[in-house]
């Protein structure tokens, strides 16, 4: 989370992408000189099957406001079926996060191929837009599990 | 009860097993019992206080039980699903265990007192139970008792939560999780937490913070639910042992509902049916992927 020089909220976001499709697609977006929202930092992994839900949780814990997870389209996986295994895990992860009260718009799943630089720009711009509308992710900001109010009520403390 | 004791005595006498894992009377209600001598078979009991899922003692994570020799284990319908999951994941071999199934009419939420089952004191997972007679068993004992009292309260609570806004759900779970002290009782009691080294114990890197802070608690509870999605036997032991009373049954049940809705899988005591996570279909739903 951060604010720009005008004081407007600028989400900090991270994208976990597979090396073979989405990273190459994002690279294509760059070499094609496409301009897009600058809020997203990319982490490159060998396959979407390598993306553990804990990566996403750790990113949220460390202060990002939104996450993009992206890999090859079904059928295109460099390792044949890594993205298909991932799809089942992501489906449960997506639904459980929703059940635990994390807005689904904070986490974007997508398939972006190596030739889809334009789609990557759409995904990024759209994800940043939706997270910007949601505002900062503040669930982990509380200083202790006892809760912010209780913490703030202690003598000499400020929330 | 006599049928169970006679069977245990026979199995121990003829040497087909060296230990019968069942329940016995203890000072604070029923407790797990490890009967190694035929003359001790009369210690065994089965009644609504027998809440414990004894499949946990078959896990290779508990080698001290394995050292007692070949085991016979007494299972309720829900416990049999845990045995099936251990078999499915090759944690145990079918020929290494004798399964004694008991027909079950529900168990108490609080097993310390001997009282009649009512809609108020029955364990929340028992109402509406569809597995009162274990399908996975070498021996089946006891008469079929009447079905457990009460309504399927968990389904109602989950639907109430689903109808809330994300902010309300977030507030609900934050309040529940704030009581978590990260004692890991939910993990220790679970028959399907079979990892030699739990990801929650890893420190380099530390994926899950170990302090009782919202960050670590959220990561732990979500990871626990995800690691058990499509595996959980729904025996309710994690929710029972939680000293903070966190409704873990809701998390487990919701994960099971998701897996059933998306992949058509329901927890079963048939070990030949593969688990849904670790498999895939090319036409799995992907409406959440852009």
ipTM of the complex: 0.92
Q: How do strand B71-75 and strand B19-26 relate by DSSP bridges?
A: parallel
- Average pLDDT over every residue of B97-125: 90
Q: What's the pLDDT tens digit per position in A18-65?
A: 999 999 999 999 999 999 999 999 999 999 999 999 999 999 999 899
Q: Per-residue pLDDT for B151 more than 60?
A: yes
Residue A144: the pLDDT is 42
| Residues 115-174, chain B, touching A (beta carbon < 8 A) | 161-162, 166-174
Q: Per-residue pLDDT for B108 more than 80?
A: yes
Residue A42: the pLDDT is 97
Question: Chain A contact for B220, CB < 8 A?
Answer: no
Chain B hits for A88, CB-CB cut-off 8 Å, are 262-263, 276-277, 279-280, 284
Q: How confident is the model at residue B107 (pLDDT cuts 50, 70, 90)?
A: very high
Look at A90 and B258 and tell me if their CB atoms are within 8 Å.
no
From residue A145, alpha-carbon distances to A140, A141, B151, B187 in Å are 9, 10, 33, 20
Q: Per-residue pLDDT for A80 more than 60?
A: yes
Cα(B148)–Cα(B128) distance, integer angstroms? 7
CA atoms within 13 A on the CB side of B98: 20
Q: What's the pLDDT tens digit per position in B203-259?
A: 999 999 998 888 999 999 999 999 999 999 999 999 999 999 999 999 999 999 999
Look at A100 and B170 and tell me if their CB atoms are within 8 Å.
yes
For chain B, the average pLDDT equals 93
Residue B249: the pLDDT is 93
Reported pTM: 0.91
Q: Per-residue pLDDT for A149 more than 60?
A: no
Q: How confident is the model at residue A8 (pLDDT cuts 50, 70, 90)?
A: confident
- Average pLDDT over every residue of B271-287: 92
Give kind and range of the element (H or E) at residue B72: strand B71-75
Is the sign of the CA dihedral B184, B188, B193, B197 positive or negative? positive
Residue A155: the pLDDT is 58
Q: Per-residue pLDDT for A156 more than 80?
A: no
Greater pLDDT, A153 or B235:
B235
Greater pLDDT, A63 or A145:
A63
How far away is chain A from the Cα of B178, in angstroms, using its nearest Cα?
5
Q: How confident is the model at residue A1 (pLDDT cuts 50, 70, 90)?
A: low
Alpha helices in B14-122 (DSSP H): 63-66, 77-88
CB burial of residue A55 (10 Å; 0-12, 13-18, 19+): middle
């Amino acid at each position: 989370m951060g604010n720009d020089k005008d004081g407007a909220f600028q989400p900090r976001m991270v994208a976990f992408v597979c090396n073979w499709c989405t990273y190459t697609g994002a690279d294509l977006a760059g070499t094609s000189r496409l301009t897009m929202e600058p809020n997203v930092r990319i982490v490159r992994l060998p396959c979407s099957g390598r993306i553990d839900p804990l990566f996403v949780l750790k990113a949220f814990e460390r202060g990002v406001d939104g996450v993009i997870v992206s890999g090859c389209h079904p059928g295109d996986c460099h390792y044949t079926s890594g993205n298909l295994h991932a799809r089942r895990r992501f489906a449960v992860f997506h639904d459980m996060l929703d059940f635990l009260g994390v807005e689904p718009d904070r986490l974007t799943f997508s398939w972006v191929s190596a030739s889809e630089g334009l789609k990557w720009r759409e995904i990024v711009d759209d994800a940043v837009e939706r997270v910007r509308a949601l505002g900062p992710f503040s669930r982990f900001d509380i200083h202790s599990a006892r809760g912010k109010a209780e913490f703030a009520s202690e003598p000499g403390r400020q929330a | 009860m006599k049928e169970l004791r006679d069977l245990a005595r026979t199995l121990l006498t003829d040497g087909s097993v060296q230990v019968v894992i069942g329940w016995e009377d203890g000072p604070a209600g029923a407790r797990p019992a490890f009967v190694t001598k035929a003359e001790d078979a009369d210690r065994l009991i089965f009644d609504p206080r027998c809440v414990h899922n004894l499949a946990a003692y078959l896990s290779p994570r508990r080698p001290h039980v394995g050292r007692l020799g070949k085991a016979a284990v007494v299972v309720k319908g829900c416990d049999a699903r845990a045995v099936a999951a251990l078999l499915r994941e090759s944690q145990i071999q079918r020929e290494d265990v004798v399964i004694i199934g008991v027909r079950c009419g529900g168990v108490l939420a609080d097993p310390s007192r001997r009282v009649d089952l009512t809609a108020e004191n029955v364990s929340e997972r028992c109402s509406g139970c569809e597995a009162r007679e274990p399908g996975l068993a070498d021996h089946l004992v006891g008469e079929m008792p009447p079905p457990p009292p009460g309504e399927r309260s968990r389904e109602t609570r989950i639907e109430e939560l689903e109808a809330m806004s994300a902010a309300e759900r977030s507030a609900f779970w934050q309040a529940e999780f704030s009581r978590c002290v990260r004692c890991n009782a939910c993990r220790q009691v679970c028959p399907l937490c079979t990892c030699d080294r739990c990801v929650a114990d890893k420190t380099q890197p530390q994926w899950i913070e170990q302090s009782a802070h919202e960050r670590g608690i959220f990561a732990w509870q979500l990871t626990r639910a995800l690691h058990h999605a499509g595996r959980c036997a729904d025996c309710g032991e994690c929710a029972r042992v939680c000293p903070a009373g966190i409704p873990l049954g809701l998390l487990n049940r919701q994960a099971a509902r998701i897996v059933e809705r998306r992949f058509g899988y329901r927890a079963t005591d048939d070990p030949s049916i593969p688990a849904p996570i670790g498999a895939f279909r090319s036409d799995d739903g992907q409406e959440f992927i852009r």
